[in-house]
Structure 1
Amino acid sequence: MKLQRTAGASNKPELVRLAHAWGLLGPCHPASDHVPPSQSPPRYADLVALAEDQIRQACRELWPEQDCSLLSAIPSSTGIVRKVRIGKQQYAATCDLLAAPLAELLLGIHGSKDCIRAQMDAYLPSPHAQACIQERQQHLLAEGGLPVPTAAVAAGVLFTSWTSSPTASDLLKSDPARAMAVMTHALSLLPSVLTDKLMHNARDMVMACPITQGLRRLQPSTPWAAALADSAASRLHPRLAQLIATSAQDLLPKVVRLSHQRRPVYGALQPDHIVCPDPGSAPMLLSPALHYGAPGGDVARLISRTTLEVLAGPRLLAVPVTHCLRKLVSASIMRVTPTQRGAWLYDLLQLWFADTLITVATSMISLAGMPPSQPHQSIKEHLVRVQALLAALRHALTMRDPQRAWLSALHQVDSLTHVLPDPRPRTDTAAPSSLSPAQPHLASARREHR
């Protein structure tokens, strides 16, 4: 089902709010009787200006007696994030505009700057706005005993307490053993918190599965698919672009079936969302996205984002990290009944593949003026390795033995760190070397480097 939005017509504010919250709104179709001044897509600077105005308004509502200063920007693909100072306290202020990825707004899917501004007026004050949902989720998780930052919301802007502690992503580069220990600890906290009772209490704030949403954006004839095909990265790596397009079509119906399993999932468990504590303290988790999905969904996302960081890191990083990932999965699978362990591993591989596919595609779409986040920039600088990893994961899913498939995929993470950083591709047609079926794109990468 799709709701068609008519810019400038008599849209019911509550319908707009709910439709945005549920992800039902389709492309903007201007009304014939009233067209906003401009229907051209907004610039990134336009979105920043809209968000900063909203952040200042929210500061005045929450702290009317305090001075508010907007400090550094924090690159993000999902919203405008600014570090702010309120009196002597510092916070991270997140404005998600219309609960849509920034790339979607910049592609013009939600209309012009004026159209987006009009929709923000209806959407952001709603209790169904993403900022309100995340704030309620964090309070609920804190009541359940999960360490999360304190949060407040006003005018559709989410404020979370600022911490200067490093994340697991930071530690992966300097102390991978400690980083993996912190991530394993964070994962171990979730089963006792993400209970059926918690999800019942969160029934009005459960989000859609982000992997399903991401795969749907990459289907043929969508603006995302067109932007990916037109990107500079796709022109330099056409085989990678084709692999993403084909795999997204194959994976979508499989992942949709997995999302029907009704297992509570934290939804955003990744290295840069896990704050490393002082020794002896539990890690703090950021940016929850509670939803129902397949068992192992949080494990899969943690593996996906960790392996992408490994591919962008030094060769010595791969071995200790993959060793820890092997132990992490071995511990997680012990919570699964023996008869279901094969299916659990296979589902884990599918979710790992899907999340990596979406993350890589998002990284490849460069839009004017939008600064890439550090993880996305690292991915763009190592697309040869990333292409080989995606090919290896796709091949692993053709194996009948889930255990063998899992170990094969993990082994590829080790071996791919031997591929040097990405060069500009050559057009030579030398015959491929003799490689296993899991490595056709790795052969191409080595020829291109020569």
Structure 2
Amino acid sequence: MTTGIYAAPVLARPTVAEVFVHAAARIHQAAAALWPGEPVLLDAHVPSVTGYVHRARVGERTLYAKTSILGVSLVSLLRGTCGTWPTVLQEQREYEQRPDGLLVREAAQLRILSGPAGPQVCPVAGIQDGVIFTEAVPGPTLADLLLVMPERTHELMEQPLAELRPLHRPGAARRLDPGGAIGERSIAGTFLRKFNGAAAEYVDDLGAERCDPDTRGAVVELVRASVARLHGLRMTLPAPVGTSLAYGDLKPEHVVFPDGPDCRPVLLDPGLLRGSPMVDLAKLMSRTVLVLVAHRPHPTVTRQILDGLALLTLSRAGNLGVRERRPWLRHLLTLWLMDTLNITTTYLSAPAALPLPRLGLTLVERALPVCLLVDAVSADLLDPAARGMGDRTLDRIAEVAA
């Protein structure tokens, strides 16, 4: 039996225990090589579906250590897409020395961005043998602040986008060697990789270890229908041309305000790639909506945040005329839906033994309303008679977050 299109037999797949023990050992070994003689204490595991992340004490410093195994997500690895654990270990030894490894590129991007003309980003403390160490950045995240000061949503969300102006300018792509891009975090690229022509079995198995059996069938059917619509909508999008850069992984939990909401934020975990600024806007909005769905704040708070999102959309549409604004909004909403489906299905396909972040656990529990939302909005986008797409979408989100 398999649980994915390229999955290895159940008994041959890597286990969570094997992966975590290996990753923790590599963090210790990498820290010892970078800072010989310093005591190393792995403080707290940070649940993630992408890589193994641990808060660590190295001497007197608090750092975050992250590993990447073969550059794939933990979910894909644990589903057996890279083969058996002995095979993975053998290939990982070579991968850790590659100059194009995922975390090598991430460290290079953080160093590029840390220049005087870039956004504020978390400093790189060191990288060794497939492990990256970054400095801890204390303070509330954008997600935290939105829930406690929803009336400032538009202002708060403009702040990380303002940090990215140097990347969003035409010609910014010259700052990044094409080989240094992290295309793995592209919204459209991830969608096409997950939902290609051979993805039927992947969709069929969604939620097999996570979802309530009474709702799993409905979730699978909704995902299947939404994927078909989004493939059609993708064909109507402008070609991904241009010379600007997208940050690539702009999420509310990756935006930290160490000096408070009135000061510049610090951005975590870049995924720079050549792309339109709309990529960053779409991911930021998608993940903000999922924060609402997961936390289900008071309806007044939800409405204030949604009003802020509406204002953000209007300001980002700029001086577009009525005729231009409709396809611009369709483009934005299509990317938003793709990203929402990408991350929701990743959580649903995670093995039961893999610890998920709080957001992931809640989205698994609320998978049906999230998938109903994606289904409804994707249908709206394909309806030529539909009017007021933005207002209708906000109303649908408010219902799901209620």
TM-score, L = length of structure 2:
0.88
Alignment of 1:380-399 (within 5 A): 380-399=364-383
Residue 240 (structure 2) aligns with: 260
Q: For the pair shown, which has the larger CA radius of gyration, 1 or 2?
A: 1
CA 1:326 to 1:83, structure 2 compared with 1: closer, same or farther past 3 Å? same
TM-score, L = length of structure 1:
0.79
CA 1:319 to 1:229, structure 2 compared with 1: closer, same or farther past 3 Å? closer
Residue 213 (structure 1) aligns with: 190
When structure 1 is superposed on structure 2, of 52-61 and 393-402 the one drifting more is 393-402
Cα RMSD after superposing both structures: 2.6
Alignment of 1:33-432 (within 5 A): 40-143=12-115, 144-151=117-124, 152-178=126-152, 181-203=155-177, 204-208=179-183, 209-219=186-196, 221-222=198-199, 224-228=202-206, 230-233=208-211, 235-237=213-215, 238-252=217-231, 254-255=233-234, 258=238, 260-262=240-242, 263-279=244-260, 280-312=262-294, 313-314=296-297, 315-334=299-318, 340-400=324-384, 404-418=388-402
Contact 1:318 1:417 in 2 (8 A): yes
Question: Take 1:382 and 1:371, find their aligned partners in 2: how far apart are those partners?
Answer: 17
Report how many residues are paired: 386
Contact 1:343 1:402 in 2 (8 A): no
3-state DSSP of counterpart to 1:248: helix
When structure 1 is superposed on structure 2, of 58-67 and 80-89 the one drifting more is 58-67
Contact 1:84 1:93 in 2 (8 A): yes
Question: What's the CA shift string for 1:144-163, capped at 9, x where partnerless?
Answer: 32000101311111111112
Question: What's the CA shift string for 1:48-69, capped at 9, x where partnerless?
Answer: 1121122112112211131111
3-state DSSP of counterpart to 2:140: coil
Question: Take 1:351 and 1:253, find their aligned partners in 2: how far apart are those partners?
Answer: 13
When structure 1 is superposed on structure 2, of 75-84 and 255-264 the one drifting more is 255-264
CA 1:77 to 1:370, structure 2 compared with 1: closer, same or farther past 3 Å? same
Contact 2:168 2:277 in 1 (8 A): no
Question: What's the CA shift string for 1:101-134, capped at 9, x where partnerless?
Answer: 1111111110111111111111112110111101
Which residue identity does 1:175 align to in structure 2?
M
Question: What's the CA shift string for 1:303-344, capped at 9, x where partnerless?
Answer: 111111112222332101001001111111116677643322
Contact 2:110 2:121 in 1 (8 A): yes
Contact 2:255 2:266 in 1 (8 A): yes
Question: What's the CA shift string for 1:218-250, capped at 9, x where partnerless?
Answer: 345446334316344273322222121232233
Question: What's the CA shift string for 1:42-95, capped at 9, x where partnerless?
Answer: 101111112112211211221113111111000001000000111100111110
Residue 422 (structure 1) aligns with: none
Question: Take 1:61 and 1:409, find their aligned partners in 2: how far apart are those partners?
Answer: 52
Which residue identity does 2:290 align to in structure 1?
L
Contact 1:276 1:284 in 2 (8 A): yes
Segments of structure 1 that go 5 or more residues without pairing to the other structure are: 1-25, 31-37, 419-450
CA drift of 1:215 comes to: 3.8
Question: What's the CA shift string for 1:257-277, capped at 9, x where partnerless?
Answer: 556234521111111111023
Residue 22 (structure 1) aligns with: none
CA 1:347 to 1:284, structure 2 compared with 1: closer, same or farther past 3 Å? same
Segments of structure 2 that go 5 or more residues without pairing to the other structure are: none
Question: Take 1:67 and 1:229, find their aligned partners in 2: how far apart are those partners?
Answer: 41
3-state DSSP of counterpart to 1:267: coil
Higher relative contact order, chain-length normalized (CA < 8 Å, sep 6+): 2
Which residue identity does 1:235 align to in structure 2?
P
Which residue identity does 1:286 align to in structure 2?
L
3-state DSSP of counterpart to 1:153: strand
